[in-house]
Amino acid sequence: MLDWGMSQALFPQHIIAKKRDGGVLSREEIGAFVRGATDGSWADYQLSALLMAVFLRGMTPEETADYTDAMMRSGVVADLSHVLGIKVDKHSTGGVGDKVSIPLAPMVVACGVPVPMISGRGLGHSGGTLDKLETIPGFRTDLSLAEYSAQVAKVGCALIGQTKDLAPADKKLYALRDVTATVECIPLICGSILSKKLAEGIDALVLDVKFGRGAFMKTEAEARELADALVKVGRAGGKQVRAILTAMDQPLGRCVGNALEVSESIACLRGEGPDDLMEVIYALGAQMLMLGGVAADVTEAEAKLRAVIADGSALEKFREITIAQGGDGRVIDEPERLPQARIQTDLVAESVGIVAEVDAMQVALAALRLGAGRAKAEDKIDPGVGVSGLVKIGEPIKAGAVLCTIHANDEASARAAAGMLKSAIRVMDVPPVHSPLIAGMLC
């Protein structure tokens, strides 16, 4: 083993060996690693070696905070100091049917809190907010940082993707994590999520950390561990951060698929959203309003959120955001202008009973088979396909009742998806054990 007290060199092999041997990396050593990823001075095999060492040895809270800060500072940190108010964003760790950001952002802005939101694309079973928004004809998610800043100041919100200037080290390191089996590492997850969020110019952040079959974290305990780390690192970065733990054993809402989820989001803003989806929206929105200083408690915050739906101002704010980003505002009143699949076919129940299971992962894989997601980052999505009208756990079902509607553009994928969905939805004679959708909060 090397004597780390005798060496101050920031050579890659020394830093790799130090972490390999269980050492604690200094701020300077972590900075050298992140710079190496940004400017190419570290080879991919060296970056991968340190990622694996971190995966196996972990990081202290201080190391994780230093790593996140270095990742954030690998590019430009947006300055939104000219935007009045406390700027609050929301981030989800990803799930099936999770379109929360689309109705939530305009609701919160309509209540008086600016929402700068940088989102991602879908990969694998988890859908991406950008892919959904881009089903609106003309909607641009590739705004420059200058355009982003100007729109947040004028409209109160911008819904964009990560620019090349924001946390560029994350793009490089995430790609390597994906191919070296080092994705499932809490310090690396914290750095990836928070470096982008802290670089977007926010003052506060609310996290939706999901667990269950359709989530990245499979158990509540794992989700709580991740949430705790995210909250602590975010606060170390000088931001107010809160996290909510939500279950993801069944899809959120009744639609899975990009244009279908945008249509469901518009329904939410009209006061017609599914109960489970609205429960999560209100829970996250309440925390955002309290952090934004416009509500004293959850009761007041939820009343404000309900009011902006009832008076139509949240819907109008989404129209304003859509038009500002080049989208066709007519979609807000005419969701049928969104892409439509050529084939629509119902999956019907073969027996009477109560819905006991809607396996989120199986539903997601069915949507992926239809073309609604990406198996590889370079894959193209089919914006109109997916599943709508999904039954929910606990609902009574009659024989011949519709369990869901499949939206497809070819018969083969429709048949394949039907088989997968049939196995995903289980109907039984006895009611299932009820589990709460919102499992806890870290403040």
Catalytic residues: 91, 170, 177, 192, 196
Q: How far apart are CA 324 and CA 235, in angstroms?
A: 32
Q: How far apart are CA 31 and CA 186, in angstroms?
A: 19
Name the amino acid, one letter, at 405.
T
With contact defined as beta carbons under 8 Å apart, do 209 and 226 qualify?
A: yes
| Three-state SS at 123 | strand
Q: How far apart are CA 12 and CA 43, in angstroms?
A: 9
CA nearest neighbour of 204 among 145, 288, 105: 288
**Residue 52: both structure tokens together:** 């694996």
Would strands 386-388 and 402-408 be described as parallel, antiparallel, or unpaired? antiparallel
> Rounded to 5, what percent of the chain is helix, strand, coil?
45, 15, 40
CA nearest neighbour of 159 among 125, 207, 210, 108: 108
Q: How far apart are CA 355 and CA 392, in angstroms?
A: 7
**Residue 293: both structure tokens together:** 């200083």
Quickly list DSSP for 251-280: -SSS-BSHHHHHHHHHHHHTT---HHHHHH
The count of residues in the chain is 443
Which segments of 76-221 are extended strands (E)?
88-92, 115-119, 157-161, 204-211
151: left (phi over 0), alpha (psi -120 to 50) or beta: alpha
Q: In terms of C-beta density within 10 A (0-12 exposed, 13-18 middle, 19 or more buried), how is residue 160 classed? A: buried
